[in-house]
Amino acid sequence: MDAVLCSRRYDYWLQGMRNTKDGRTLNTAMFDQLREAILTGKLLPGQRLKVSLMAQTHGVSLNVVREALNRLAGEQWVEIEPQHGFRVRALTAEDLIDLVRQRAIFEGIALRQSIARGDVEWQSKVVAAHHRLSRTPVGVESEPERVNPEWLARHEEFNIVMMEACGSPRLVQIVRQLAEASAMYHRALLPAVSAEGELESEHTALLDAILAGDADLAVRVLTTHLEQTRDLMLPMLAKTLAPTEIAAEPDHVRPPEEKRRRGRPPGSRKVQAAVAK
């Protein structure tokens, strides 16, 4: 009997460990999926995140969704509104200005240290990242007012590769977090610049300064690039309307009555009430 009892206790313990492991994996997967959706613009800045619909869509419990959203709030991807739930973090001029200021400071330090410490292998990686960036079109034909997402990914890659030889994993992590926060602004606001050659010229000037070992020039070019991008986005941010109430799921998972509400004439009382909110 003792052997049977011990065997059962072991089975219960093992099952509990499996459930704990599965729960942690599920929570992490949910966190990663939502974070990726924010970074890629599938979830828009200011968009309300409906926990029940998200749980239904992803086939997980409410607790899994809430834990993921709380983690995202802790990393400032999501905002918690008392008595209203969660929203994707809104874009503001004050945040953008502060973000660029901090990027200039930390990326300037990281770039200086990388140039001082970097070897030929690092320089080769920077050249390769620049080559991939320069061969990726800035705009896309279907959306002429938006930057190509692939170009943005290449741009972020080039930026991180420049900093990764600084010798400080913590500094690289700070740089990466600031760059990812900037990506929300870039994807939402940055138009496809017609003078594509100017962007290429800035990146080439930055690469030349790095290869020449001129840290002062490289930091000046980098700072100017960050500030010019900020100045391009600020007027667009000022024109952005208040975020619309949008569910965090695609149309095919919304209840039928919600779809019907969206199709009512603009003058209906219910639509007017929704807009007023």
Spatial distance between the Cα atoms of 255 and 105, rounded to a whole number of angstroms = 48
Q: Which residues pair with 140 in a beta bridge?
A: 143
Residues 6+ apart with CB under 8 A from 210: 111, 115, 118, 123, 126, 162, 218
Residue 53, pLDDT score = 87
Instruction: Give the model's pLDDT for residue 76.
Output: 80
Which CATH number applies to 93-239?
A: 1.20.120.530
Q: Going by C-beta distance under 8 Å and a sequence separation of 6 or more, which residues neighbour residue 71?
A: 31
User: Which residue is listed with tokens 């059962």?
Assistant: 8
Six token digits for residue 11: 């089975």
Task: Profile the chain (277 residues) by mean pLDDT over runs of 10 residues.
Answer: 46 38 70 81 84 86 88 85 82 93 97 96 97 87 72 90 96 93 81 56 93 97 92 83 41 39 40 38
For 72, counting Cβ atoms within 10 Å of its Cβ (0-12 exposed, 13-18 middle, 19+ buried), the class is: buried
Q: Six-digit token pair at 179? A: 């760059």
The pLDDT score that the predictor gives to residue 217 is 97
Domain 22-90+248-276 has CATH 3.40.50.10140: no
Residue 179: other Cβ atoms inside 10 A: 20
What are the residue ranges spanned by the domains of the chain?
A: 22-90+248-276, 93-239
> What's the CA gap between 219 and 230, in Å, rounded?
16
**Rg, Å, the chain Cα set:** 23
Asked if residues 189 and 208 have their Cβ atoms less than 8 Å apart, the reply is no
The model scores a pTM over 0.95: no
At residue 6, the pLDDT reads 45
